[in-house]
Amino acid sequence: MKKCNKIQGSIDSIESMGLVDGPGIRTVIFMNGCKLRCKYCHNPEMWKLKELNTTPEDIVKRVIRNKPYFSKNNGGVTFSGGEPLLQPDFLIETCKLLKKENIHIALDTAGCGIGKYQEILNYIDLVLLDIKHTNKQEYLNLTSYPIDESLKFIKALNDSNKPVWIRQVIVPGMMDNERYLESLLKTLKKIKNIQRIDFLPYHKLGREKYLALNIPYPLENIPEMDKEKTSKLYEEFMNQYKTQKNRNCQESEYKHTEN
Q: Which stretch binds ligand SF4 (CB under 6 A): 2-10, 30-38, 119-127, 244-252?
A: 30-38
Does 43 interact with ligand SF4 (rule: CB under 6 A)?
yes
Give the C-alpha separation, 59 to 126, whole Å: 19
Q: Of the two residues 26 and 167, which places its CB atom closer to ligand SF4 in the complex?
A: 167
Compute the least distance from the CB of residue 251 to ligand SF4, in Å. Answer: 34
Give the contact letters, 74-113, x = binds to ligand SF4 (CB under 6 A), - = no: -------xxx--------------------------x---
Does 219 interact with ligand SF4 (rule: CB under 6 A)?
no
Q: Which stretch binds ligand SF4 (CB under 6 A): 38-46, 49-57, 178-186, 237-245?
A: 38-46
Q: Which stretch binds ligand SF4 (CB under 6 A): 1-9, 29-37, 157-165, 231-239?
A: 29-37
Does 37 interact with ligand SF4 (rule: CB under 6 A)?
yes
Does 38 interact with ligand SF4 (rule: CB under 6 A)?
yes
Among 11, 31, 41, 154, binds ligand SF4 (CB under 6 A): 41
Q: Of the two residues 82 and 201, which places its CB atom closer to ligand SF4 in the complex?
A: 82
Give the C-alpha separation, 76 to 73, whole Å: 9
Binding site for ligand SF4 (CB under 6 A): 34, 36-38, 41, 43, 46, 81-83, 110
